[in-house]
């Protein structure tokens, strides 16, 4: 087992990875760079030797358990000395690199006139000083009898045992228990294997073991299995120990201690076969399938079919490793259940007066909220306060963090077990997170960039660092240190409050959150600080004065921060800073002295008013991330940006690329850059497309414009950029000659992308032929293809694109046809402004969205029953459908076809019939005067929304009788509509809009309008010949009535027409100049809102003042009146 965490092991956690990296760095400097400053070589060799000795001392922590408190000061000195050594060597390496660059590029001026002589002396002195310091500290180990050659037996870690083993009172787990009991008793759960595994997963303290014990002791579970076994799994995973404990649990007696591993397995093979068992493997940590799980699972398969294994674990990977069909992710308790649990523990005595109990309950609920739904914490708090009746003591507990109460409640050891089992490199990453505030939403990629800036990620090569960092984070997520938190559709991550308390506990000597400057004691040992206080300026001043070796300064939160006088001091005083966050600060410009921050790797200037970056920023040799999102006044980048050879991320929002006229020259020197959203090809040296050649790590989107200047397009080496996901190729929109056409074709041919590309856009391409790499099907992973304004292209030859889902074509003025598409996965096809396109090829049966706009020569359109959306707009020649049927063998296959969600037809005057192959739910028809033939009656049964504009009366008559599911109907500009026919039975119709009906004189015949018994909204607008509402009245279900621009309407109908509308809530009357009064019987009592505008006659009669108008009594009780 691993040794228990002790002071020396704590030091090893933080220092050991650093020491290893420092040894590698020192060795590299000796080997590669000492010739630049030869006087330093001997000191670097000596420092490397001392670091090796320190590394050997730290390895003792794995072999020997040491808990003497007098070690702590020594360990603190050791940590700080190692970090100091890292600072010195990092500075030395940086200065050496800058001098080397000076020799290679004569015109280069190193920052602050760095001279070789002064640098040599200063570096030698500092390295000698830190080396001597480390040597003395290493020698001090002898005081503590730390023998490097110690070879004793490793002690085994004693795992903390829950203080609450009882299961009599468990709260909030009834649903979880029921689900798991059903699974345990089910024989159909696993049909392939004899033994089913059911993991219970969650962070420490959630009650996984308690829930497992509830299940283990359940009477129905006990009866179902022949026998049950409970094994607490040790670390490391030991197969023999597990088998031994299983048999001892079954036999209820210990086995002989001298049984060999092979004999234990032999006995187990005799004991298990033919028995249906329940096994609980409690507190499992191993995720090694081949070494640990596979041998155990093979042996467990000897049990009778229906056997079950319940596994409790903190690691999500266990569920994947054991290939379980079901796993339970245990959640935190809801607040009401947490409160019930707390009351059960805190108020057990019951000897409290009602007034005291009320006061304590009010405070207790605040204490429970602080526990974040973690049963372990709720129990501990309740037990701690049990029997205490002083309100002041309860309030003190409520106002303290778990860290401050740890000596009394002892919660963190259980959580800390997860931390103790982390490898050292993950411990550093976890500890760093303590400087963020509680409930902070972490962005995975951004956190990895911060880890990279601190050199926490052990990798070789820039590209690998990011990938390994993501693996680090995913490992912490799997081990329940983070929880998924979706914010506005974006996946982010949070730490549980108590996990955050743990992070603060294990990193308190070098990580700090500054919340209140009066309560914070600034230590020189702090390396990572976040400013959360209101007084940012004074806090920052103290930090600069006291924490001169600071590596991280964060300003979390999006509120504006004013650093005041501290701003300038940051650049003079924090020379070892690696991460500097100035986001949302009062910042107009950076000082030239920023170049002093030689070790700076991460700089965030987001959400500031900065207008220009100083040229000196380009001397930040180590800078990896430059973040400037939301900087509205930033229009350019410094001309020497190419000097930032270690820059990985240049984060600018999309608007910047529209504002920026040109990138700095020689951008191609940024060979480690991961993102470059836009590149404008220039004709001058340093701006050509060959600048992209060595930028092998580019990922995401790259928009390359003014491609007419890309005479050496092949030099971009796009085919080698495997991480790019989207490419945009754009030429300037200009008139060209035939010679230029040939040049454009050659340029596009030379821009062959990598086969990993997912999205491709080609804009303003002015040559006839498409490149061979499109015709030959080289883009096997392409998902979206867009061709915009490729005005010379006549024939579309796309080749095989097996993954293409979306094809967008716009402005191909010469396009006439293309061969049959071999696009089996095509789902969306959009074609716009292709005036010569005559016909389309047969389309994929998987096509779901088809949109055709302004293709004036297209006369036939293929459609299939699989379409979900069909939009046809401004196609004057279109007159027929090529209805492609899909061969279906069964009713099930037919029923599985998607229902057409939307059919929209605008300005297609030659279309005479709707396609027969599908049934729309939404139908919009505009300016299709020839449309008279409607789909069969069964195809209209699914129609829910119908809009007709500038169509024939026959179109309405042909559809309406069969649209029994119609819920919304919009009628506008219908020819020859004088009176509606008898309204058919439309039981679902809720909204009816009758607009721009110039000849309409009657809304219904034979009282048929009242048959619309579900109608809630009726809107009548711009019907100049309509005189009145129908005499038979309106549907009583109506809730909103709107009448607008009915020039000759002088009456709202018979006297009782509105009074009978007992559901009416809103009445709107506008631009009806002849309406002079409301019906004689008045308005319904249900009316809540009356709006009258530009109706002078009735407005005058509704006045309240000057003796009140005759209509005022009818409206005086309406709550909301709007009368102009």
Query: b/e for 28-64, b at 16 or more Cβ within 10 A?
Result: ebbeebbebbeebbebbbbbbebbebbbebbebbeeb
Q: Is 50 exceeded by the pLDDT of residue 158? A: no
Q: Is 60 exceeded by the pLDDT of residue 889? A: no
Q: What is the rounded CA–CA span in Å between residue 36 and residue 110?
A: 15
Query: b/e for 766-779, b at 16 or more Cβ within 10 A?
Result: bbebbbebbeeebb
Half-sphere exposure of 350 (CA within 13 A, CB side): 2
CB 1043 within 8 A of CB 1050: no
| pLDDT value of residue 151 | 43
Sheet holding 528-531, edge to edge: 511-514, 528-531, 552-554, 579-581, 602-604, 625-628, 649-652
CB 1037 within 8 A of CB 1016: yes
Q: Is 50 exceeded by the pLDDT of residue 152? A: no
Q: Which residues pair with 580 in a beta bridge?
A: 553, 603
Q: List Cα–Cα distances, 493 to 441, 485, 633, 774, in angstroms.
A: 5, 5, 32, 41
Percent of the chain with pLDDT over 70: 86
Contacts of 49 (CB under 8 A, 6+ apart): none
| Residue that wins the pLDDT comparison between 1006 and 1086 | 1086
- List pLDDT tens digits, range 244-283: 988 888 888 888 888 888 888 888 888 888 889 999 999 9
| Residue that wins the pLDDT comparison between 641 and 43 | 641
Q: What is the rounded CA–CA span in Å between residue 435 and residue 438?
A: 9
The pair of structure tokens assigned to 869 is 């959306």
704 pLDDT band, cuts 50/70/90, is very high
The highest-level CATH class for domain 173-329 is alpha beta
| pLDDT value of residue 620 | 95
**875: closest CA among 919, 921, 839?**
839
| Residue that wins the pLDDT comparison between 488 and 55 | 488
| pLDDT value of residue 898 | 53
Residue 485 burial (C-beta neighbours within 10 Å; 0-12, 13-18, 19+): middle
CB 386 within 8 A of CB 349: yes
Q: What is the rounded CA–CA span in Å between residue 422 and residue 472?
A: 11
Ranges assigned E (strand) in 1001-1103: 1017-1021, 1040-1044, 1066-1070, 1089-1093
Alpha helices (runs of H) in 771-885, residue ranges in sequence order: 772-775
Residues in the chain, overall count:
1124
Q: Is 50 exceeded by the pLDDT of residue 113? A: no
CATH of 412-494, one of 2.102.10.10, 1.25.40.10, 1.10.10.10, 1.25.40.80: 1.10.10.10
118 pLDDT band, cuts 50/70/90, is low
Alpha helices (runs of H) in 159-283, residue ranges in sequence order: 174-185, 208-216, 219-224, 239-251, 261-271
Q: What is the rounded CA–CA span in Å between residue 618 and residue 565?
A: 24
- List pLDDT tens digits, range 372-398: 999 998 998 988 888 888 888 999 989
Q: Is 50 exceeded by the pLDDT of residue 644? A: yes
The DSSP 8-state label assigned to residue 533 in this structure reads S
Coil vs helix vs strand at 307: strand
Q: List Cα–Cα distances, 911 to 334, 835, 932, 955, in angstroms.
A: 60, 18, 9, 12
Q: Which residues pair with 83 in a beta bridge?
A: none
| pLDDT value of residue 23 | 63
DSSP state letters, 359-386: HHHHHHHHHHHHTTT-HHHHHHHHHHHT
The pair of structure tokens assigned to 676 is 């470059």
Contacts of 774 (CB under 8 A, 6+ apart): 797, 798, 799
- List pLDDT tens digits, range 223-241: 999 999 999 998 888 899 9
Q: Which residues pair with 279 in a beta bridge?
A: 229, 309
Q: What is the rounded CA–CA span in Å between residue 479 and residue 462?
A: 26
DSSP state letters, 122-183: HHHHHHHHHHHHHHHHHHGGGGGT--TT---PPPPP-PPPPS----SS--S-HHHHHHHHHH
189 pLDDT band, cuts 50/70/90, is low
Q: Is 60 exceeded by the pLDDT of residue 12? A: no
| pLDDT value of residue 41 | 64
The pLDDT mean for the chain works out to 85
Q: Which residues pair with 979 in a beta bridge?
A: 1002
> Element (H or E) spanning 278, and its range?
strand 277-284
Is the omega angle on the peptide bond into residue 43 within 30 degrees of 0, that is, cis? no
Domain ranges of the chain: 7-107+115-143, 173-329, 335-399, 412-494, 902-1123
The separation between CA 758 and the C-alpha centre of its own chain, rounded to angstroms, equals: 20
- List pLDDT tens digits, range 946-976: 999 998 888 888 888 888 899 999 999 988 8
CB atoms within 10 A of CB 403: 16
The DSSP 8-state label assigned to residue 561 in this structure reads B
DSSP state letters, 996-1014: --TT--BS-STTGGGG-TT
* Mean pLDDT value across residues 1039-1045: 96
Q: Is 90 exceeded by the pLDDT of residue 1015? A: yes
Considering only 312-326, 531-545, 691-705, 894-908, which range has the smallest mean pLDDT?
894-908
Q: Which residues pair with 759 in a beta bridge?
A: 726, 784
Q: What is the rounded CA–CA span in Å between residue 50 and residue 149?
A: 17
**606: closest CA among 571, 646, 656, 569?**
656
Q: What is the rounded CA–CA span in Å between residue 594 and residue 608?
A: 17
Q: What is the rounded CA–CA span in Å between residue 858 and residue 650?
A: 46
**504: closest CA among 453, 444, 440?**
440
Q: What is the rounded CA–CA span in Å between residue 625 and residue 495?
A: 25
- List pLDDT tens digits, range 776-816: 889 999 999 999 999 998 888 888 899 999 999 999 999 98
Half-sphere exposure of 180 (CA within 13 A, CB side): 31
The pair of structure tokens assigned to 552 is 């991280």
| pLDDT value of residue 88 | 85
| Residue that wins the pLDDT comparison between 891 and 304 | 304
Phi and psi, residue 1034, nearest 5°: -120, 165
Instruction: Output the CA angle 923-925-930, nearest 5 degrees.
Output: 130
Considering only 2-16, 556-570, 905-919, which range has the smallest mean pLDDT?
2-16
The CA dihedral of 790, 795, 797, 802, to the nearest 10 degrees, is: 80
Q: What is the rounded CA–CA span in Å between residue 585 and residue 1060?
A: 64
What is the value of pTM for the model shown?
A: 0.84
Query: b/e for 814-836, b at 16 or more Cβ within 10 A?
Result: ebeebeebebeebbbbbbbbbee
Sign of CA dihedral 687, 689, 693, 697: positive
Q: What is the rounded CA–CA span in Å between residue 551 and residue 453?
A: 10
Q: Which residues pair with 762 in a beta bridge?
A: 729, 787
Ranges assigned E (strand) in 314-374: 328-329
- Given its phi and psi angles, is residue 482 left (phi above 0), alpha (psi -120 to 50 degrees) or beta? beta
Considering only 356-360, 528-532, 889-893, 1044-1048, which range has the smallest mean pLDDT?
889-893
Instruction: Output the CA angle 191-193-195, nearest 5 degrees.
Output: 110
1051 pLDDT band, cuts 50/70/90, is confident
CB atoms within 10 A of CB 533: 19
CATH of span 902-1123: 3.80.10.10
Q: What is the rounded CA–CA span in Å between residue 374 and residue 1043?
A: 60
Sign of CA dihedral 413, 415, 421, 427: negative
The pair of structure tokens assigned to 1003 is 């809304």
Q: What is the rounded CA–CA span in Å between residue 916 and residue 881?
A: 9
């Amino acid at each position: 087992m691993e040794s228990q965490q002790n002071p020396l092991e704590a030091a090893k956690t933080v220092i050991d990875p650093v020491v290893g990296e420092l040894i590698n760095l020192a060795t590299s400097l000796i080997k590669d760079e000492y010739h630049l400053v030869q006087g330093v070589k001997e000191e670097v060799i000596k420092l490397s030797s001392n670091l090796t000795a320190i590394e050997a001392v730290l390895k003792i922590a794995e072999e020997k358990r040491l808990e003497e408190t007098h070690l702590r000061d020594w360990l603190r000195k050791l940590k700080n000395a190692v970090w100091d050594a890292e600072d010195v060597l990092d500075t030395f390496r940086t200065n050496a690199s800058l001098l080397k660059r000076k020799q290679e590029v004569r015109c280069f001026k190193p920052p602050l006139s760095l001279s070789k002589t002064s640098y040599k002396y200063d570096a030698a002195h500092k390295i000698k000083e830190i080396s001597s310091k480390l040597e003395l500290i290493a020698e001090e180990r002898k005081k503590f009898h730390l023998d490097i050659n110690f070879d004793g037996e490793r002690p085994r870690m004693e795992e903390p045992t829950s203080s609450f083993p009882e299961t009599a009172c468990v709260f909030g787990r009834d649903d979880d228990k029921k689900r798991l009991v059903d699974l345990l008793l089910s024989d159909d759960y696993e049909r392939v294997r004899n033994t089913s595994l059911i993991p219970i997963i969650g962070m420490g303290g959630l009650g996984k073991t308690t829930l497992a014990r509830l299940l283990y002791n359940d009477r129905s579970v006990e009866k179902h299995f022949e026998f049950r076994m409970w094994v607490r799994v040790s670390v490391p995973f030991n197969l023999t120990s597990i088998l031994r404990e299983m048999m001892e649990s079954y036999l209820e007696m210990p086995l002989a201690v001298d049984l060999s591993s092979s004999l234990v397995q032999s006995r187990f093979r005799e004991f298990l076969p033919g028995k249906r068992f329940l096994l609980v493997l409690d507190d499992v940590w191993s995720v090694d399938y081949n070494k640990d799980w596979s041998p155990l699972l093979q042996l467990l398969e000897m049990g009778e079919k229906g056997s079950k294994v319940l596994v409790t674990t903190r690691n999500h990977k266990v569920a994947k490793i054991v290939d379980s069909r079901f796993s339970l992710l245990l959640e935190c308790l809801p607040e009401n259940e947490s409160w019930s649990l707390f009351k059960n523990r805190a108020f057990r005595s019951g000897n409290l007066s009602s007034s005291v109990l009320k006061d304590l309950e009010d405070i207790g609920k605040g204490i429970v909220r602080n526990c974040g739904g973690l049963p372990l914490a709720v129990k501990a708090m309740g037990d701690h306060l049990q029997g205490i009746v002083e309100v002041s003591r309860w309030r003190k507990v409520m106002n303290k963090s778990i860290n401050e109460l740890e000596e009394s409640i002892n919660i963190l050891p259980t959580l800390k077990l997860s931390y103790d089992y982390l490898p050292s490199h993950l411990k550093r990453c976890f500890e760093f997170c303590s400087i963020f505030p509680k409930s902070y939403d972490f962005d995975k990629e951004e956190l990895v960039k911060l880890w990279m800036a601190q050199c926490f990620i052990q990798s070789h090569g820039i590209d690998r660092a990011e990938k390994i960092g993501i693996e680090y984070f995913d490992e912490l997520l799997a081990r329940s240190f983070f929880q998924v938190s979706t914010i506005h559709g974006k996946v982010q991550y949070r730490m549980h409050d108590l996990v955050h308390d743990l992070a603060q506990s294990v990193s308190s000597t070098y990580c700090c959150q500054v919340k209140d400057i009066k309560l914070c004691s600034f230590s020189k040992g702090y390396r990572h600080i976040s400013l959360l206080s209101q007084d940012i300026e004074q806090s920052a001043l103290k930090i600069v004065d006291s924490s001169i070796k600071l590596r991280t300064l964060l300003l979390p939160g999006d509120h504006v921060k004013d650093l005041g006088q501290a701003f300038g001091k940051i650049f003079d005083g924090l020379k070892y800073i690696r991460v500097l966050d100035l986001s949302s600060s009062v910042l107009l410009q950076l000082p030239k002295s920023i170049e002093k921050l030689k070790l700076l790797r991460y700089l965030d200037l987001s959400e500031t008013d900065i207008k220009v970056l100083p040229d000196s920023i380009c001397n930040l040799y180590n800078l990896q991330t430059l973040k400037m999102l939301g900087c509205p006044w930033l229009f350019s980048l410094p001309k020497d940006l190419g000097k930032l050879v270690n820059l990985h991320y240049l984060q600018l929002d999309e608007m910047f690329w529209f504002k920026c006229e040109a990138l700095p020259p020689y951008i191609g020197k940024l060979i480690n850059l991961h993102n470059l959203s836009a590149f404008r090809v220039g004709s001058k040296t340093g701006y050509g497309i060959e600048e992209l050649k060595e930028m092998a790590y580019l990922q995401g989107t790259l928009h390359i414009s003014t491609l007419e200047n890309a005479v050496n397009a092949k030099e971009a080496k796009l085919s080698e950029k495997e991480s790019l996901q989207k490419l945009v190729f754009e030429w300037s929109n200009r008139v060209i000659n035939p010679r230029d056409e040939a040049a454009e074709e050659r340029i596009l041919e030379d821009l062959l992308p990598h086969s990993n590309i997912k999205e491709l856009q080609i804009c303003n391409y002015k040559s006839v032929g498409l490149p061979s790499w499109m015709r030959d099907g080289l883009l096997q992973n392409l998902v979206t293809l867009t061709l915009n304004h490729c005005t010379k292209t006549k024939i579309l030859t796309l080749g095989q694109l097996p993954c293409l889902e979306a094809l967008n074509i716009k402005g191909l003025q010469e396009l006439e046809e293309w061969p049959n598409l071999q696009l089996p996965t095509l789902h969306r096809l959009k074609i716009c402004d292709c005036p010569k396109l005559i016909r389309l090829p047969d389309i994929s049966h998987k096509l779901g969205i088809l949109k055709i706009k302004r293709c004036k020569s297209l006369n036939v359109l293929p459609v299939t029953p699989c379409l979900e959306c069909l939009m046809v707009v401004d196609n004057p020649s279109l007159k027929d459908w090529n209805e492609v049927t899909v061969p279906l063998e069964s009713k099930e296959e037919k029923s599985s076809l998607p229902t057409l969600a939307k059919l929209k037809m605008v300005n297609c005057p030659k279309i005479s019939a709707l396609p027969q192959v599908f049934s729309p739910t939404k139908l919009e028809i505009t300016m299709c005067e020839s449309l008279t033939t409607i789909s069969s009656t069964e195809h209209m049964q699914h129609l829910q929304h119908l809009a007709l504009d500038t169509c024939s009366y026959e179109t309405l008559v042909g559809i309406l009788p069969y649209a029994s599911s119609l819920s919304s109907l919009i009628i506008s500009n219908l020819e020859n509509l004088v009176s509606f026919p008898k309204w058919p039975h439309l039981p679902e119709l809720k909204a009816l809009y009758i607009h721009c009906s110039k000849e309409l004189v009657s809304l219904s015949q034979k009282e048929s309008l009242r048959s619309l018994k579900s109608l809630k909204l009726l809107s009548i607008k711009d019907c100049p010949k309509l005189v009145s509402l129908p005499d038979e009245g309106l549907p009583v279900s109506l809730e909103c009535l709107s009448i607008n621009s009915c020039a000759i309407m002088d009456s709202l109908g018979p006297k009782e027409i509105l009074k009978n509308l007992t559901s009416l809530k809103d009445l709107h009357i506008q631009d009806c100049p002849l309406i002079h009064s409301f019906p004689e019987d008045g308005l319904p009592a249900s009316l809540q809102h009356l709006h009258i505008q530009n109706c002078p006659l009735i407005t005058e009669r509704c006045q309240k003042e000057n003796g009140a108008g005759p209509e005022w009594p009818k409206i005086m009780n309406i709550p909301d009146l709007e009368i102009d």
